[in-house]
Structures are given as structure tokens and as C-alpha cells.
């Protein structure tokens, strides 16, 4: 079929003015630049900001995303650039889909990644559906990741700036969602470029600092949030070595994560020790030497596969795997157990692989993201 109209920058065969795009606006510099760029190109832009929690409830703090200040900043950008902006109250959805899941995972001895759940269960689910309800052709976000068109449709790729790449947090994006999503910042090679664009458009958020923490966890104190949501959940117990010998006591497993070394309160040992396992049933924190943290076999659940063939089409796949957001992808073999479960064998052992974290798959010879899954047993 012949198209006389060339594709616009968002991939549609029509004029930008006839292309409606919903921009998910957090109030930060990244999503504000996306909105400004698209508005400048003449697109029919609609900005939407989600209110995700009651910032008066002491779970939020200045500098976290989606708090009151950020809603104000997003609204101001929309006013400056003259496009409509809506604030949607997603507090209940966010609490049930993200905060409660976070707390329950911690209580079960896992180390969750709530930002992935938020993208999966809120932003790329309910917000994306809202965009469709508004008759938008697509939804754009300020994430640092690339969407490219391959022989079999849209593909997910790492950001050009690997230091800012957010693919680890977006592994659960489905092919259907990817068809509808756009990531206009993914090709930029540094954050400085984003800030320069913000200055070019005269945005008040050009120098706004990036948010660092999980948005609903003040000062990184996870245990305080869990105690607030589940009073009395921090029950004391023993700190033991791998043979069961009691080395000390703790005041709640929620204060510990796999790989932790500091704050164990155990003296008199010649070699450093680390948290190697959390025994929820017996309320024990199991510690041991660093080599006990080394893991090569990782079991996954809720696998999202973005390859061109079905996951189960092969008994094994050569991939690069990332088991922490801060670590580079390493050579691995992916062995499907079902369409949603798999084992990953790491060619070189990784330390501190924890249940509740994500394991993300990459093309070992390129930048393509092939999906990922949730670690159930390191």
C-alpha cells in the first residue's frame, strides 16, 4: 500500500497537528522536555500527571517524584507551552498495586523493585488505557530507553547513554504496550543534552535535580514505611551462621537485605560477614562469608519475553543478563521452563542476587532488550 504522506517523527503517516500524543508528565526535566519538543513540532499534546499518594501522609518527601511540587511544575510547563494538562488521582491504584506489593514482598524476605511494578501496573497499564480513551495515537514518556522498528514490529533497546539507561526498570513492557509507547529521549547521549533542551524552551525545571529515591520511601528508610503499613511486623529474632549457631539478635528481618554487610552488630570476627539468606519462618537472618553470596543459577517467574520467536521455541538462548540495575549485562544462558518461568545460568557468578529483584535479558551482541523476569530463588 502506497503512502503519499511521509511518516512523522512519531511514526504516523499524518501531519503532527493531526497526531494526538499523551505525555506522561512527572514534573521533572525529562518528561517536561518530551512535552516541549512534541509541542514545538506541532503535535496535539495532552499532558497527564498522576497523583500517586497523599504527600501529607508522611510517606513522601521533597525531591521525590509525583509529589505536590511536581504536579505544580508539570502544570506550569503545560501552561507555558499552551497545551491541556490533567491530574489524575491514582492513589488507590498505586497503593494496592505498588506500595502494598512492596511491603508484602519485604515481609516475605524479598527485595522488591517498586519502580518496575509502577511502570507495569500503573503507568503502562491504567495510564496507557486513559491515553487510548482520550483518542491519542500514542503515549510518550521521559524514560531513557529506545524503541526501534524491527522486521517483526517494535523493539526495545537500551538508551544511547548507557549511564542513564532505564531498560532494567522497563523489562516487563509488553509488545502490545511497546506498539503504543514512544520514548523521545532515548537517543540522547547525555543528561546535559536534555537540560540544554529544557533551557532552549525556557522551562523552569531546566535545573531541577533528578529524583533519586523510591518516591514513597523517605530517606531510603524502607523499614519505617513497612512498619507504618504493617504495625508490629518487625519481630525480633536471631542472627545465625550457616550451621545455625547464634551470633547475635535482630529487631526485625525487614531491616535486612541479601548482601548486606553493615549494621549487623556482630563483633569479634576475623573476616567480614554478609547477609546470605533471610529465613522468614524461623525469623532468622543467616550470615556467612562473601563467597556464599556467589550465585550462578537464577530461577525466574513472570517472564516477559520480547524476542522474535516464542520463548519456548528453543531449549536455551544465549543472552546477556543483568541482575541489578547498577551492574552491566553479563553473558548467560536462558533456559525456559514454561512460557512464564525460566532458569538463567550466569557464566560468571554474581554476588547478592536476591529474590524480588529483576533479571533482565539483552541481546549479547547488541543493544536490544529481550525481556526479563522476577528472581524467585537465587
65 is catalytic: no
Beta strands in the chain (DSSP E): 20-24, 44-51, 85-89, 138-140, 145-150, 153-158, 181-182, 237-240, 246-250, 274-279, 284-288, 294-305, 317-322, 330-336, 342-351, 358-362, 368-377
Of 65, 138, 215, 359, catalytic? 215
3-state secondary structure string across 232-284: CCCCCEEEECCCCCEEEEECCHHHCCCCCCCCCCCCCCCCCCEEEEEECCCCE
Looking at the DSSP bridge assignments, the partners of residue 153 are 150
Percentage helix, strand, coil, to 5, in the chain? 30, 30, 45
Q: What angle do CA 344, 349, 354 make, to 5 degrees?
A: 65
SS3 label, residue 336: strand
118 is catalytic: yes
Of 115, 118, 138, 359, catalytic? 118
Grid coordinates representing 359?
533479571
Q: Which of 320, 321, 323 is nearest to 352 (CA)?
A: 323
What gap in Å lies between CA 302 and CA 170, rounded to an integer? 14
Per the listing, cell 567480614 goes with: 272
247-to-80, 238, 278, 285, 341 alpha-carbon distances in Å: 61, 8, 15, 10, 37
Q: Which residues are marked as active site? A: 118, 215
Amino acid at each position: 500500500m502506497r503512502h503519499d504522506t511521509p511518516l512523522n517523527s512519531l511514526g504516523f503517516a499524518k501531519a503532527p497537528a493531526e497526531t494526538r500524543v499523551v505525555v506522561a508528565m512527572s514534573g521533572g526535566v525529562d518528561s517536561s522536555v518530551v512535552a516541549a519538543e512534541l509541542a514545538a513540532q506541532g503535535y496535539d499534546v495532552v499532558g497527564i500527571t498522576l497523583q500517586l499518594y497523599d504527600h501529607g501522609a508522611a510517606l513522601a518527601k521533597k525531591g521525590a517524584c509525583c509529589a505536590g511540587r511536581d504536579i505544580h511544575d508539570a502544570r506550569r510547563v503545560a501552561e507555558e507551552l499552551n497545551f491541556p494538562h490533567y491530574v489524575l488521582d491514582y492513589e488507590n491504584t498505586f497503593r494496592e498495586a505498588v506500595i502494598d506489593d512492596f511491603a508484602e514482598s519485604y515481609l516475605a524476605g524479598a527485595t522488591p523493585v517498586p519502580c518496575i511494578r509502577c511502570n507495569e501496573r500503573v503507568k503502562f497499564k491504567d495510564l496507557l488505557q486513559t491515553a487510548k480513551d482520550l483518542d491519542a495515537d500514542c503515549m510518550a514518556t521521559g524514560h531513557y530507553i529506545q524503541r526501534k522498528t524491527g522486521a517483526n514490529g517494535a523493539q526495545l533497546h537500551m538508551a544511547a547513554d548507557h549511564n542513564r539507561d532505564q531498560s532494567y526498570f522497563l523489562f516487563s513492557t509488553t509488545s502490545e504496550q511497546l506498539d503504543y509507547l514512544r520514548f523521545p529521549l532515548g537517543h540522547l547521549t547525555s543528561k546535559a543534552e536534555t537540560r540544554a533542551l529544557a533551557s532552549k524552551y525556557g522551562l523552569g525545571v531546566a535545573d531541577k535535580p533528578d529524583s533519586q529515591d523510591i518516591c514513597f520511601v523517605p530517606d531510603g528508610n524502607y523499614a519505617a514505611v513497612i512498619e507504618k503499613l504493617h504495625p508490629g511486623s518487625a519481630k525480633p529474632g536471631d542472627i545465625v551462621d550457616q550451621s545455625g549457631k547464634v551470633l547475635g539478635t535482630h529487631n526485625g528481618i525487614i531491616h535486612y537485605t541479601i548482601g548486606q554487610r553493615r549494621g549487623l552488630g556482630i563483633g569479634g570476627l576475623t573476616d567480614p560477614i554478609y547477609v546470605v539468606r533471610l529465613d522468614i519462618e524461623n525469623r532468622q537472618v543467616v550470615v556467612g562469608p562473601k563467597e556464599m553470596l556467589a550465585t550462578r543459577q537464577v530461577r525466574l517467574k513472570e517472564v516477559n519475553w520480547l524476542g522474535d520467536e516464542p520463548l519456548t521455541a528453543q531449549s536455551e538462548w544465549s543472552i546477556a543478563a543483568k541482575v541489578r540495575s547498577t551492574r552491566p549485562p553479563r553473558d548467560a544462558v536462558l533456559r525456559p521452563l514454561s512460557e512464564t518461568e525460566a532458569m538463567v545460568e550466569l557464566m560468571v557468578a554474581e554476588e547478592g542476587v536476591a529474590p524480588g529483584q529483576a533479571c533482565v535479558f539483552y541481546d549479547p551482541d547488541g543493544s536490544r532488550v529481550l525481556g526479563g523476569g522476577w528472581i524467585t530463588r537465587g
